[in-house]
């Protein structure tokens, strides 16, 4: 079975934050009570359980797991443990090649980090963003630079050998000198992975409104470009190889879960706003927390075997199906059980043209490039014929190069990634 015929990754979304960052447009929200968070965990586990009955694809034995947000570590250790147990029980968490959890440095301590490691997470991604307190305040972050550095140390002591730090350039009040200081400090922590993003002003965010009104000013384009160049240069000197436009890692420490996305492989996703990709369509859950909780917590039909088991697990506490439904075929049973919840997500079919376009764009994000041979096998086409004109233009302008069956962006082309990607839309 080919990799694109199985779920290679499993994503779980936590939509809660202690404080919404000014630049964030993800489905994440502050202000919900502990009672609502518990209700969310219960609804999430029900989605995990019921969707195991109508799995579009098999789950790979080593499928990666990623808990993102929001801030997953706003949840208690017990709540996180319950979610992990549910994933394992219903066949989503098997023997993951990598199990990552995101954390805000202001929401973890030594004890919690140790517990997360014991639960089974072997990689942690810390939202550091900056090590300048004035820049953190400008972003609306709740943690300080000191807390970020302490969280890194404590994560290592807890047993996390794989620690990522997210950094942002182009922050209001940020200078080349302050960014260089952040980079130098983070390198002293000897991390195996750094994600370095340029700040994007997302429409409708508080920061976008502040900039549009003139109340906040961002570094100009020249300064932002200097920071971009500095990121690649400094990290490379420290042995962190750039393997994707915004990600650098020591050899063998790349984010396996994110590579699933960049290789355009299927992944399952659970929770508010989570998006599942099965290779032919995307399924995106509602971004409304209360709607999600109300919908998934309701009792509905769950198919069972005669011995009150499903996939070898006891389900005696789950409501039995009516006699009428039991007379239907297995396929109808599964569809009827999940269809009760169909209003909680939207499905976007992807025709072959879109699949090929997206696979090319995602592949080009990586420094290794898009694997032409795999794409031709997967989509049964000749890529050079399909995109011959577009590819030749990129080659002529030195934006890309083609070697060993891979089409990859040059260092120069990486600067203009979005313009290159437009060629394939």
The string of pLDDT tens digits covering residues 156-185 is 999 999 999 999 999 999 999 999 999 999
| pLDDT value for 338 | 58
**Mean pLDDT to the nearest integer, 381-398:** 94
Q: Please report the pLDDT score of residue 240 as a whole number.
A: 97
On the question of pLDDT at 85 being above 90, the answer is: yes
Q: What is the mean pLDDT of the chain?
A: 90
Q: Of 155-164, 219-228, 297-306, 323-332, give the lowest mean pLDDT range.
A: 323-332
Confidence check: pLDDT of 323 > 80: no
Most confident range (mean pLDDT) of 76-80, 204-208, 312-316, 329-333 is: 76-80
Residue 347 is encoded by which pair of tokens? 């499905």
List the one residue out of 197, 192, 167, 196 whose CA is nearest residue 249: 192
Model confidence at 307, in pLDDT bands (50, 70, 90)?
very low
27 has pLDDT over 70: yes
| Mean pLDDT, range 292-297, rounded to an integer | 91
pTM of the model: 0.90
pLDDT bucket at 54, cuts 50 / 70 / 90? confident
Of the CA atoms within 13 Å of residue 361, those in its CB half-sphere come to 16
Statement: residue 303 has pLDDT above 80:
no
pLDDT digits (tens, 9 = 90+) for 87-140: 999 999 999 999 999 999 999 999 999 999 999 999 999 999 999 999 999 999
What is the model's pLDDT at position 337? 54
**R_g of the chain, CA atoms, integer Å:** 23
Cis? peptide before 346, omega within 30° of 0: no
- Residue 99's Cβ-side half-sphere holds a number of Cα atoms within 13 Å equal to 18
Q: What is the pLDDT of residue 316?
A: 36
Burial grade of 209 (CB within 10 A; 0-12, 13-18, 19 or more) = middle
Collect all residues with Cβ–Cβ distance below 8 Å to 95 and sequence separation of at least 6.
61, 62
Contact call for residues 93 and 12 (beta carbons, < 8 A): no
Residues 260, 308: Cα–Cα separation, whole Å: 36
């Amino acid at each position: 079975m080919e990799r694109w015929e199985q779920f290679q990754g499993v994503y779980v979304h936590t939509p809660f934050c202690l404080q919404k960052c000014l630049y964030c447009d993800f489905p994440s929200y502050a202000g919900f009570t502990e009672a609502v968070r518990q209700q969310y965990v219960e609804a999430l586990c029900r989605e995990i359980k019921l969707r195991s009955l109508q799995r579009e694809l098999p789950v790979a034995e080593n499928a990666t797991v990623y808990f993102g947000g929001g801030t997953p570590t706003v949840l208690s250790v017990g709540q996180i443990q319950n979610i992990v147990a549910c994933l394992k029980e219903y066949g989503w968490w098997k023997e993951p090649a990598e199990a990552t959890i995101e954390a805000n440095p202001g929401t973890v301590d030594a004890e919690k980090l140790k517990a997360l490691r014991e639960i089974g997470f072997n990689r942690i991604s810390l939202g550091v963003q900056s090590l300048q307190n004035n820049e953190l305040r400008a972003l609306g972050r709740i943690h300080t630079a000191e807390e970020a550095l302490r969280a890194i140390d404590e994560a290592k002591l807890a047993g996390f050998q794989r620690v990522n730090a997210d950094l942002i350039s182009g922050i209001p009040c940020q200078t080349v000198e302050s960014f260089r200081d952040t980079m130098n400090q983070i390198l002293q922590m000897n991390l195996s992975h750094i994600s370095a993003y340029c700040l994007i002003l997302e429409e409708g965010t508080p920061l976008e409104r502040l900039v549009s009104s003139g109340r906040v000013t961002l570094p100009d384009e020249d300064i932002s470009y200097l920071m971009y160049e500095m990121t690649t240069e400094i990290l490379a000197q420290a042995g962190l190889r750039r393997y994707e436009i915004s990600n650098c890692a020591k050899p063998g420490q790349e984010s396996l879960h994110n590579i699933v996305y960049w290789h355009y492989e299927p992944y399952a996703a659970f929770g508010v706003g989570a998006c599942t990709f099965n290779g032919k369509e995307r399924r995106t859950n509602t971004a409304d927390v209360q709607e999600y909780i109300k919908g998934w917590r309701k009792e509905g039909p769950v198919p069972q075997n005669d011995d009150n088991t499903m996939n070898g697990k006891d389900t005696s506490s789950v409501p039995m199906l009516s006699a009428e439904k039991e007379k239907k075929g297995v396929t109808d049973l599964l569809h009827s059980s999940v269809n009760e919840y169909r209003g909680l997500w939207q499905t976007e079919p992807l025709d072959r043209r879109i699949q090929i376009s997206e696979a090319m764009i995602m592949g080009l994000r990586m420094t290794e490039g898009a694997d032409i041979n795999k794409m031709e096998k997967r989509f049964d086409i000749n890529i050079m014929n399909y995109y011959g004109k577009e590819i030749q233009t990129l080659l002529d302008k030195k934006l890309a190069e083609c070697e060993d069956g891979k089409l990859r962006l040059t260092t120069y082309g990486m600067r203009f990634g979005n313009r290159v990607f437009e060629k394939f839309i």
